[in-house]
Amino acid sequence: GAVVSQHPSRVICKSGTSVKIECRSLDFQATTMFWYRQFPKQSLMLMATSNEGSKATYEQGVEKDKFLINHASLTLSTLTVTSAHPEDSSFYICSARERGDGSPLHFGNGTRLTVT
């Protein structure tokens, strides 16, 4: 089945630094990838939709200058958390659809970000 790889799985960084998270579709091409954030015991919250070759579409309330998304190829999207603060500590998960709009999302394993 479709595999989405996300790296790193865990990262601890100091406040003020930037962290890059990679999301790769290993056995399929993904023109669209989705970035989610999940706080403990809460539901998934869509942050942005990453479109290959164009600008990402951010959800309301998500700062595009803080969460930089780059989708440079059909198999790779990156999320960079810039000038991270402790409140950015969360579980970040990427996902992609193997086929068209009606197909299920396949998730990466997630990245646990801790900002100290």
Partner 1 sequence: GQNIDQPTEMTATEGAIVQINCTYQTSGFNGLFWYQQHAGEAPTFLSYNVLDGLEEKGRFSSFLSRSKGYSYLLLKELQMKDSASYLCSFMDSKFQLIWGAGTKLIIKP
Nearer to partner 1, 3 or 72 (CB): 3
User: What phi and psi values does residue 91 have, to the nearest 5 degrees?
Assistant: -105, 115
Q: Are 92 and 105 in contact (CB under 8 A)?
A: no
Q: Is 66 in the site for partner 1 (CB under 8 A)?
A: no
Q: How far is the CB of 88 from partner 1 (least distance, A)?
A: 18
Q: How far apart are CA 25 and CA 33, in angstroms?
A: 9
| 79 close to 92: Cβ distance less than 8 angstroms | yes
User: Within 13 Å of residue 58, how many CA atoms lie on the same side as its CB?
Assistant: 13
Name which of 30 and 108 has its Cβ closer to partner 1. Answer: 108
Site for partner 1 in 32-51 (CB under 8 A): 42-44, 46
Count, residues near partner 1 per rule CB under 8 A: 17
The reply on whether position 76 binds partner 1 by CB under 8 A is: no
The three-class DSSP label of residue 94 is strand
Q: Is 24 in the site for partner 1 (CB under 8 A)?
A: no
Chain residues binding partner 1 by CB under 8 A are 6, 42-44, 46, 91, 93, 101-102, 104-110, 112
